[in-house]
Chain A
Amino acid sequence: MIRLPHTRPSPYNEDNLIPLINIVFLMLIFFMVAGQIQSRDGLAIDPPFADNKPASDTETRTLAIMADGQMVIDGKTLAPSELKTYLASLNKPAATNAEPPVLMIKADRLLPAAKLHATLVDVREAGFTTIRLLTLSGEPS
């Protein structure tokens, strides 16, 4: 009779994975609790730094302006000449007791202020009375 050697797997061979699972669970809980899931616009924008009011959680439209002046809103890239027409089409007449439309601008901090001014003029002419610039707290590195 030939007895074939056989190494029986230990029922406890996964014991050494438990510290790993502990750490992974802790990381998972940290990211779930401390982070916020936000949609990414995929734009290379380095926003300006300013310590002011925290951004509100209300849903508003965001106009992204990159350092070279390229503008993106609702996933569409717009030429500066198209911005006013596009925003005016969004800003439909609302009821008189409705809150004024709000537009958030996420501009690169290296964007020339002259281009920001031209954009602000277009946005106001399109009917957006409340305009807010998104910034980050702290100092530029």
Chain B
Amino acid sequence: MLLDIPGASKSRGLSLTPLIDVVFILLLFFMLSTNFMQWQELPLSATKNSANAPETIVHVKLLTDTGDIEAAGQQLNLQTADALSGLIATQPEDAVYAVHVSATVSTQTFINLSLALERAGASVTYLAQVLEETP
């Protein structure tokens, strides 16, 4: 009986299967551990930082999560374009903006207000206090 057994001396070349195994494991590792989120940072303060020099403090009340604001006797809304430019224009350049938030306001809305104040020209903004609910 003649069995057709391939000769041991015949080289079959390098097997790709172990290579693929390793590459797949590496790929899985990088896919699961990679983070593409671009984190940014926003300086925060609960009190004004500067201890010297008298300064003008402008109290800005953030009343609702939809962006209703009360500042310097004006009723404004964050959604309105350039709502804060008029307010900032009437204040001194070194004015400090103290934001008072209602209990219903979210962090995102507070950040939107801080950035809007900054874009309108406010130099210092801080989270001053929480407004007490009026029954």
Contacts and interface: CB of A to CB of B under 8 A. Distances in A.
Secondary structure of the B contact surface, majority rule: mixed
B127 to A, nearest CB: 5
A123 B127 CA distance: 13
A1 B110 contact: no
Interface string A100-116: 00001101111111101
Contacts, number: 173
B12 A9 contact: yes
Given A50-B115, A53-B41, A132-B41, A110 B34 contact: no
A141 B29 CA distance: 28
A46 to B, nearest CB: 9
Q: Identify the interface centre among A11, A104, A135: most chain B CB within 10 Å of its CB.
A: A135
B38 A133 contact: no
Interface of A: 1-4, 6, 8-9, 11-12, 14, 17-18, 20-21, 24-25, 27-28, 31-32, 34-38, 40, 48-56, 104-105, 107-114, 116-118, 120-121, 123-124, 130-137, 140
Interface of B: 1-6, 10-13, 15-17, 19-20, 23-24, 26-27, 30-31, 33-47, 62, 101-112, 115, 127, 129-130
21 contacts: A6-B5, A9-B12, A11-B13, A17-B20, A27-B31, A28-B26, A52-B42, A52-B115, A56-B41, A107-B107, A111-B107, A113-B130, A116-B110, A116-B127, A117-B46, A124-B46, A134-B42, A135-B39, A135-B41, A135-B111, A140-B108
